[in-house]
Chain A
């Protein structure tokens, strides 16, 4: 299909080009759709993917649209409220779509290379754990992007109605979550974290797990890297963040949730509420409210001061998952 083709085309060909162009710009009624289908079906097989590429007009129209959008001095702006409603609704709809065909949350996450050296403080996560870079430097292939949507959808499904398992008086109407303390990296907390990372990297110690944080699209996740380490045997673990924004505890706090294979996925374990009070690197002890036996997903959310017992899951900032 090209301009020369149009100039020399038969009446049949011109009509076919007209239908394809019409479909790409203003759509076709049912009769025209049927006519287009009949005409395309009548093409020789070797023509359908060549000069009569049926998507060519749509692609050209899309590119024209993108060019005009890129040069639009005043494109329509999407407000924060509308954006939040759209994202929330899409995640909920995707979660419903996933109910009968669940895609593993971790489908795009490679296994941890236990022989690799531990991540350097402040160094970005590597490989598939690296946060997607925005245009124009690097773009996620659609498979990865859709995989993230799948992950988000699964997470939305998993957190639909979630609340932490808290013993006794610490039920949904019980005491507020225990606050985790954030320490400077030079403290014993940092030393414990470092020792856990070392254990996780050791072939002789498969008991400690190490996972890299994956940033979501939440604004607070911009540029955040780090890891989470957990020992089921010790029931002890630490989170390391680089670049997680300082929060105002009177406005909002971060909260960790731990998904455990031995538990119902709808009820992640409350891993503690914490604050970031200075920029740079922060290491936070995990304060799991009950025993964590087989963690497979960690998620950090932004919640009201004091944390919550049932997350609204409006702001999922980071996730770290096993394969």
Chain B
């Protein structure tokens, strides 16, 4: 638990939960991980990715139940600088480093929309308000951005090249 508690806590906070709500959310994630462990397929994704998938689902479900959203005005700058794989965090695994390269290859606005949605937990409507993009464009960026990340990871496409 110690290994993943910081990550899960950070995700819960990013999804708008605070204090005891965040603690409850992290507890529920650990319990769900326990129940879901048999579904883990190491040939498909790393343990870290699997844990993050379960955590995101629980946080999204929880957030929908209480209609909680992070405040968009808490973001000073919605432009993300993603390097091509280096990080100061010890839990980063090769799969994440490859994903960083894939994300770095997305178009800047597409990348920003994807990360506002996935990491900061903003709704598509909030992203539209925050960025000034039409809602339909936000939805398209999210969908295509995620698809491209997945596609590049599966094929290894261009991930050895420098981002343009």
Contacts and interface: CB of A to CB of B under 8 A. Distances in A.
A217 B149 CA distance: 34
Contacts of B105: none
A66 B52 contact: yes
A143 B56 contact: no
A320 to B, nearest CB: 20
A55 B83 CA distance: 26
A72 B10 contact: yes
Contact of A63 (B33, B40, B49, B64): B49
Contacts of B23: 82, 85-86, 89
Interface residues of B, number: 73
21 contacts: A2-B151, A3-B151, A25-B146, A26-B60, A26-B64, A27-B60, A27-B63, A62-B52, A63-B49, A66-B49, A68-B80, A68-B115, A70-B87, A70-B96, A71-B81, A76-B14, A141-B40, A142-B50, A143-B37, A145-B37, A153-B34
Contacts, number: 210
Nearest to B53: A62
Given A66-B48, A82-B9, A60 B150 contact: yes
B98 to A, nearest CB: 8
Nearest to B150: A60
A94 B31 CA distance: 7
B132 interface: no
A75 B27 CA distance: 19
Contact of B99 (A17, A22, A67): A67
A76 B3 CA distance: 15
A214 to B, nearest CB: 15
A78 B87 contact: no
Given A27-B64, A141-B47, A3 B147 contact: yes
Nearest to A98: B34
Chain B contact residues: helix, strand, loop or mixed: helix
- Residue from A29, A70, A140 with most neighbouring chain B CB atoms (10 Å): A70
Interface of A: 1-3, 6, 17-18, 21-22, 24-27, 29, 55-72, 75-78, 82-83, 85-87, 89-90, 93-94, 97, 134-136, 139-143, 145-146, 149, 153, 217
A76 B143 contact: no
A134 B3 contact: yes
A237 B90 CA distance: 39
B129 to A, nearest CB: 14
Contacts of A97: 31, 34
B149 A65 contact: no
Interface in B103-161: 103, 114-115, 117-119, 123-124, 139, 142-151, 153
A253 B11 CA distance: 36
B82 interface: yes
Interface string B1-43: 1110111011101100000001100110011011001001010
B49 A59 contact: yes
A64 B149 contact: yes
Contact of A78 (B9, B27, B81): B9
B79 interface: no
Contacts of A24: 56, 146
Given A63-B95, A142-B40, A217-B1, A71 B147 contact: no
B52 A60 contact: no
B1 A60 contact: no
Contacts of B13: 76
A59 B150 contact: yes
A3 B148 contact: yes
Contacts of A17: 143, 147
Interface in B45-72: 45-50, 52-53, 56-57, 60-61, 63-64
A85 B9 CA distance: 13
A72 B56 CA distance: 17
Given A62-B52, A149-B34, A86 B115 contact: no
B75 interface: no
Nearest to B101: A67
B45 to A, nearest CB: 6
Contact of B90 (A21, A27, A63, A135): A135
Contact of B82 (A57, A71, A82): A71
A30 to B, nearest CB: 10
Contacts of B5: 78, 83, 86-87
A234 B119 CA distance: 60
A139 B119 CA distance: 24
